[in-house]
A = this chain, B = another copy of it.
Amino acid sequence: MKIIDVTLTLRPDMPTWPGQPAPSLTPHSRIAQGGSSNVSILSLGDHTGTHVDPPLHMLEGGYAAERLPLPPMFGLCRVLRYDGDGHIGAAWLERQSLPSSVSRVLFRTRNSEHWRRGDNEFDKTFTALDPTAGAWLAARDIVLVGVDYLSIEPFGSSPIGHPVHKALLGKGVIVVEGLDLHEVDPGDYDIACLPLKILAGDGAPARVVLMRR
């Protein structure tokens, strides 16, 4: 069984959302300095790199990271490839003819080329789901949606109130952001997505892998 790691490496020079700090790793104990082991302190925004959004991220009163349900995180997952320039909309989704057996969907877009190249700068023009795509997915029996940049909806969605996040999180759909899909061909896989179990966390850094069916 081949395991494909679709997780971004947490590194100080990785792109983060504008205004959010880069992750840091600070030495706490060092063998080289007489310590009995190497131990470090990790500090990072809880929406850094590959991560899961609990409802609390966008919905006041929504549940937090430690209560994310686990069954949606495992099982059959379809990777769709989108090569368009604009954002993904309902009309394009409709044309993909998703069978009812598929309840987890990941979108590989041009964004993943950033991860292939190891880019360090945040790209505000990243490809995402438009509000029609959010509504389309929320209206179906979808349990997990994953994207290959740091938000599931376009940059600048604050003024319109993040309709894609709210449609999906309000329906209890697991939203996974920051996937590195540059090595993943379209098709069906088994996904394993495991976010950190953070009490009251409004985001949860995760490790995500795909296994080819």
Q: Per a CB cutoff under 8 Å, which of B25, B158, B195, B199 touches A200?
A: B25
The residues of B that contact A36 with a CB separation of less than 8 Å are 158, 162
The answer to whether A74 and B20 touch across the interface, beta carbons within 8 angstroms, is no
The answer to whether A66 and B195 touch across the interface, beta carbons within 8 angstroms, is no
Number of interface residues of A (CB under 8 A): 57
Bound Cα distance from A50 to B197, whole angstroms = 10
> A23-73: which residues lie under 8 A (CB-CB) from chain B?
25, 28, 31-32, 36-47, 49-50, 56-58, 60, 66, 70-71
Residue of A36, A44, A66, A196 with most partner-chain B CB within 10 A: A196
The residues of B that contact A21 with a CB separation of less than 8 Å are 41
Residue of A36, A205, A207 with most partner-chain B CB within 10 A: A207
The answer to whether A70 and B158 touch across the interface, beta carbons within 8 angstroms, is no
Q: Does A8 contact B (CB under 8 A)?
A: yes
Q: A39-B46, A46-B40, A198-B10 are in contact. Are A32 and B60 (CB under 8 A)?
A: yes
The residues of B that contact A50 with a CB separation of less than 8 Å are 197
Q: Per a CB cutoff under 8 Å, which of B39, B165, B194, B200 touches A45?
A: B39
Residue of B nearest to A65 (CB): B10
Q: Does A9 contact B (CB under 8 A)?
A: yes
Going nearest first, the 7 A-B pairs with the smallest beta carbon separation are A194-B207, A38-B202, A36-B158, A194-B194, A11-B199, A43-B43, A3-B70
> Can you sample 29 A-B contacts with CB below 8 Å?
A1-B71, A1-B74, A3-B71, A9-B198, A10-B66, A10-B196, A10-B199, A10-B201, A11-B199, A25-B46, A25-B201, A31-B58, A36-B162, A37-B57, A37-B165, A39-B202, A39-B203, A40-B203, A41-B43, A41-B46, A42-B43, A42-B44, A42-B45, A42-B198, A42-B201, A192-B192, A194-B206, A196-B205, A207-B207
